[in-house]
Structure 1
């Protein structure tokens, strides 16, 4: 059996960040990654599917400046985010949060970013093993750190076993391994696999890589564009993210298993047609948003062709997005749950790489030091404001319909007049009654989730 200090399940941003942090501090760190083939990657690696956009202050949360990236990771430099409702729109040109990065943000090639993170971890001395599927984890709570017997024994699909003092779970929002580990550390009958089930706690996302006509690409260049109130579902929206060479990612996120018969005022949603009998597929939603925005001037299939050597397979990819409130980790068992597996990413906005990298790095650092007891406190301190903001904004718009989104964007234009960005929610009242109601509700939601109350599974719920 191979013995390591830190065993890391999952080789995405959180797992690679944990490996880099642990190895940089002299720990023996091993990343186990199943490995997924992609059209845009020569070697096997993590799933690498998300919209992959980073805003200015996320650079500081992540702790990695884009100047460190090799060529091709950064795809487009951003100067704005456009939020488009059925009839109203609002443009954000500043997040309003102080940052060391002097641009609004950037989009990136996620697979190349993950390869960079892997190379960075390996250069620090970590081992990154691909085609390593973790089938079982046994935890001995009586085993001490550095003892003859490891605290965690991981059984791999190959039949190999790995023993480790510390376990970092970074297997993404589907929590394939995480839920099994947590099930064993919760009281009898309290199943993480039920409480945190992917089908009820995640959204599904779909996107296509499309080559845009030059005139249209010039129009969207520098902007991440989101349409709200055009399709049903809590935090459900299509997007366009510009990449390099006139390629854009056109995609959407939506709840899993939504029934169209349960949608109120379905006729108000621009991407729902009168003859629809069920919620459209992701592919159909993409076609409809392209037709709605540019179909009057262009033949969508001919003028916006799929880029078949991009993405996961033939220019398309489907993936889960964590839409949960985050969970705390069973640190007394030497276990840290990071990134998407802990629910630190959010379906409200695109991109969770910054919080995945940060939580992974904290876990790796503490594991290398031989004590992860402060992990939950450390991640709350590092990303708590970001998580609270996302939870509050998602709750704020729960139940919104098309008319509500138009109201929000009409109010938002007034509140954003002096480029306050997210700080528009911290300004004094004075932008009218609509703005006052919006501010009061947002601040009330934040107050309800204060002091870490945005978590859905707390450390004291585990049974050791």
Structure 2
């Protein structure tokens, strides 16, 4: 049987950065990625679907010098973001975070970014097997290896491979992760109880649309988000400007939500009185474009789909986990990284930056026989980011349309004549409503302090 030091399941940002770090530190490293086709990629690659926006400080979280990233990866540099409520809006031109990147952020070509990380891993000496998936993973806790437990991976072609360390980076769908971790849970419990609760799962849908030049100019350097326009926990549409006059128009919405679960359907601009069910993603997008631009443009004629982009004729659908992260069973020589461990947030749309950073950490520690430190190290690296995400998501969980208008009015008052991200930077003037938001934010952060945002701690695994 073939044997390697480090085996990695999944070839997205967490997997490829893990492979690059492990190989760079001298470990014999193999990565398995089953691969999917895309309209905008030659050959197979990871399931590269994301709205693909990068904020300034996220680049630092990834532990990259922004000048390393190839120019062909970046679509557009951004000056800010606009949050639009039913009757109010707020614009921010800074994230309020210290960052080395000189702009607010940028939009980028997700597949090209993934492929660049793939090239870095290959150059470091990792064996990248795209087109070969993993169908099963079994751990031998009583292994005679002096380095502890070993693992047998069964591949999609029937072959088997043995590894000293395994890094699970198979994204929010977790095709291998759930069963692999269930080896170490108590009888009657499953890791899916933490990572896949139906009420917290989200789906995202996006379309590539060509906009008239004069319309595209209105948001060519801005991200646009509409809050309170569709029902559901952290459900919102967006527009991300890309290259030329193409933009991605998409949304995030809960899976399995029924119209009868909506408290006040008439309050949502993208619901209609004759709806019998929650609209599909494509219907939501059509309604958004009609609402915003239908008075001046024929949507299908003037803002058409760009069918040579994305996964399928200009459209993409992908899962987003809105759960909180879990620890890894490092005592079994396993690390879980990126979306597979629950770091992807439906609230801020994605988690590419934390996937990259957790992958780097897992790969380095596995290669240096130090994986037992993984859970502590990733918390030090991305804990503040996770803490912000889960705190904000809790605050807005039950927001209705009027609540979004109220919140944006408060933030506008807090900003005064500026556009600073006052809630994070704390440059605000006191007021009753401002203090309500800040107090709520601080309360949530306090509740999740010292890593309490982890929903499955390491000591709950059974070895």
Provide TM-score, normalisation by structure 1.
0.97
* Match of residue 29 from structure 2: 29
Query: Using the alignment, how far apart are the partners of 1:29 and 1:417 within structure 2?
Result: 53
What is the CA deviation profile of residues 217-276 of structure 1, one whole-angstrom value per residue up to 9, with x for unaligned ones?
100111010000000001000000000010000000000000111101110100000000
SS in 2 for 1:220: coil
The 5-angstrom pairing of residues 232-311 of structure 1 reads 232-311=231-310
Partner SS state of residue 318, structure 2: strand
Structure 1 CA distance for aligned equivalents of residues 65 and 263 of structure 2: 45
How far has the Cα of 1:146 moved from its partner?
Answer: 5.9
Encode CA deviations 1:421-450: one digit per residue, 9 max, x unaligned.
445246377432111111111111111111
Aligned to 2:99: 99
Write the distance in 1 (CA, Å) between the matches of 2:145 and 2:74. Answer: 41
Deviation at 1:196, TM superposition (A): 2.3
**Map 1:8-87 → 2, pairs under 5 A:** 8-87=8-87
* Matching of residue 406 in structure 1 with residue 405 in structure 2: yes
- What is the CA-CA distance between 1:356 and the residue it aligns to? 0.2
Q: Does 1:313 align with 2:312?
A: yes
Q: Is the 8 A contact 1:96 1:419 kept in 2?
A: no
1: CA distance between counterparts of 2:441 and 2:163?
44
The residue correspondences of 1:390-401 to structure 2 (distance < 5 A) are 390-401=389-400
The alignment status of 1:202 with 2:201, answered yes or no, reads yes
Shift of 1:414: 1.8
- C-alpha displacement at 1:419, in angstroms? 5.2
Question: CA offsets, 1:289-320, max 9 Å, x none?
Answer: 11111010000001111110100110000000
Quick one: structure 1 residues 134 and 415, their matched pair in 2 at CA, closer, same or farther if it must change by over 3 Å? same
Compute the displacement of 1:155 (Å). Answer: 0.2
Partner of 2:215: 216
* CA drift at 1:195: 3.6
Structure 1 partner of 2:128: 128
Tell me, yes or no, if the aligned pair for 2:325 and 2:341 is still in contact at 8 Å: yes
For 1:404, what is the secondary structure of its paired residue?
Answer: helix
- Give me the TM-score of the superposition, normalised by structure 2: 0.97
| Secondary structure at the counterpart of residue 240 of structure 1 | strand
1:329 positional shift: 0.4
Change in Cα spacing, 1:333 to 1:452, as seen in structure 2 (3 Å) is same
- 1:380 and 2:379 correspond: yes
Deviation at 1:420, TM superposition (A): 7.5
1:117 matched residue in structure 2: 117
Contact 2:172/2:321 (8 A) holds in 1:
yes
In structure 2, distance between residues paired with 1:267 and 1:56: 38
Question: Judging changes above 3 Å, is the alpha-carbon distance between structure 1 residues 426 and 109 closer, same or farther for their aligned structure 2 residues?
Answer: closer
User: Does the 8 Å CA contact 2:141/2:149 hold for their aligned counterparts?
Assistant: no
Report the Cα distance in structure 2 between the residues aligned to 1:413 and 1:150, rounded to whole angstroms. Answer: 55
> Does structure 1 retain, via aligned residues, the 8 Å contact 2:414–2:428?
no
Q: In the TM superposition, what whole-angstrom CA distance separates every residue of 1:103-145 from its partner, at most 9, and x where no partner exists?
A: 1100000011110010110000001101212111110112255
Counterpart Cα distance in 1 of 2:213 and 2:295 = 16
Q: Is the 8 A contact 1:425 1:439 kept in 2?
A: no
Deviations 1:8-36 (A, max 9, x none): 00000000000000011111111100100
Aligned-partner SS, 1:373: helix
Contact (CA 8 Å) 2:93, 2:419: kept in 1 or not?
Answer: no
Asked if the contact 1:95/1:420 (under 8 Å) is kept, the reply is no
CA contact (8 A) 1:83 1:228 kept: yes
- Indicate the residue corresponding to 1:229 in structure 2: 228
**Structure 1 pair 372–422 and aligned structure 2 pair: CA distance change class (3 A):** farther
Contact 1:93–1:421 (8 Å) recurs in 2: yes
Query: What per-residue deviation string (whole Å, max 9, x for no partner) do you get for residues 177-207 of structure 1?
Result: 1000111111111111344227444210000
Distance 2:436 2:444 in 1: 12
Give the distance between the partners of 2:208 and 2:420, measured in 1 at CA: 29
Answer yes or no: is the 8 Å Cα contact 1:416–1:424 preserved in 2. no
Q: Indicate conservation of the 8 Å contact 1:4/1:30, yes or no.
A: yes
Match of residue 329 from structure 2: 330
Q: Aligned Cα RMSD in Å?
A: 1.5
Q: Secondary structure at the match of 2:439?
A: helix
Measured in 2, the distance between the counterparts of 1:320 and 1:30 equals 26
Q: Is the 8 A contact 2:58 2:353 kept in 1?
A: yes
Residues 362-386 of structure 1 deviation map (CA, whole Å, 9 limit, x = unaligned): 0000001012011000010000000
- Per-residue deviation at 1:66? 3.9
Check conservation: 1:146, 1:165, Cα contact below 8 A.
no
Give the equivalent residue in structure 1 for 2:356: 357
Corresponding residue pairs, total: 463
CA distance in 2, matches of 1:245, 1:230: 28
Distance 1:90 1:5 in 2: 51
- Give the C-alpha shift of residue 63 in structure 1: 1.5
